[in-house]
Structure 1
């Protein structure tokens, strides 16, 4: 069995042909990246922007990687790292600028591919969850989203957030405790 046989289909496709492999990478992870971006940012439009920019940066990075680096890539954790860096940079930039005047602008637009029932259900639970997540400190929100939305293991979250595993566990624990307290207070 060769080294290539051990690779997951996405990495194998990336090694065979970058453009076709990237299409597979995008198809395999776009929902996860978007959901994570939405839970982190709290706004549909921001999540779309973050997702697009994360995949653009991923493609540019892959174009410069050698075969060994692509073969050793953990696509999900790697994409989450790119997304987290973008989210942090956007949050930092946003905190330096005055907020735009959004009077009369809808908070979120519906996904035209989604059914009315799906939109209603997403709003009921999604809005409540988003409101609660938005009340967490950024480091707890990121850890909780990566663990319970993205379902990354603690070791990968530590890599993505660039913090020790014990700190990740602490952020998750404190975040969940705070979410329970906030959820009960509503």
Structure 2
């Protein structure tokens, strides 16, 4: 299979999942599509090299989307996230996994970007601490700290007493 066909197949198989992941990071369907598009355009230019040298192109692209989100948030620090949730429409979701309730969605968007990325990677992408550390280019204790602090902030905002969740991370 030539590089173009291989890339087209990858996009066909993974674009929706990448956009859903980016929506959770960015808080906006439009921003998520822009993030994924930007990454795919850059990756297309060296797809042959990437597909042949990477065990998991999806993991590589997901990491690139995460990095683009983190750098995009720094570059566009004056941009604000909308207060109305914009979850993708017309797609089939596992309601309990892919579509948080409105309050939780709003609270997730309020987390600092590193914490938000760590929480989304843990609970949406179901990655281990080591995999999250690789995606975020940080150490394991930093991942654990981001996840712990992010969850603590969410629990505090929701009003869940600490004794109700202690030891359930």
Interval containing the TM-score (normalised by the shorter chain): 0.7 to 0.9
| Distance change >3 Å, CA 98–CA 167, structure 1 → 2 | closer
Q: What TM-score results when the alignment is normalised by the length of structure 2?
A: 0.76
| Distance change >3 Å, CA 165–CA 70, structure 1 → 2 | farther
Equivalent-residue separation in structure 2 for 1:174 and 1:138 (angstroms): 12
Aligned partner of residue 125 in structure 2, secondary structure = coil
Deviations 1:57-116 (A, max 9, x none): 2212324x17xx724332232112211221122211211x576xx9xxx874863x348x
**Contact 1:54 / 1:86 at 8 angstroms: preserved in 2?**
yes
| Distance change >3 Å, CA 57–CA 126, structure 1 → 2 | farther
1:144 aligns to 2:116 (yes or no): no
State which structure, 1 or 2, has the greater radius of gyration over its C-alpha atoms. Answer: 1
1:140 deviates by 0.7
1:51 deviates by 1.6
Q: How many residues align?
A: 157
| Distance change >3 Å, CA 54–CA 128, structure 1 → 2 | farther
Equivalent-residue separation in structure 1 for 2:126 and 2:20 (angstroms): 12
Unmatched tracts of structure 1, length 5 or more:
1-15
RMSD: 3.1
Equivalent-residue separation in structure 2 for 1:121 and 1:36 (angstroms): 15
1:93 aligns to 2:75 (yes or no): yes
Which is richer in helix? Answer: 1
Q: What TM-score results when the alignment is normalised by the length of structure 1?
A: 0.70
| Distance change >3 Å, CA 132–CA 146, structure 1 → 2 | same
Unmatched tracts of structure 2, length 5 or more:
161-169
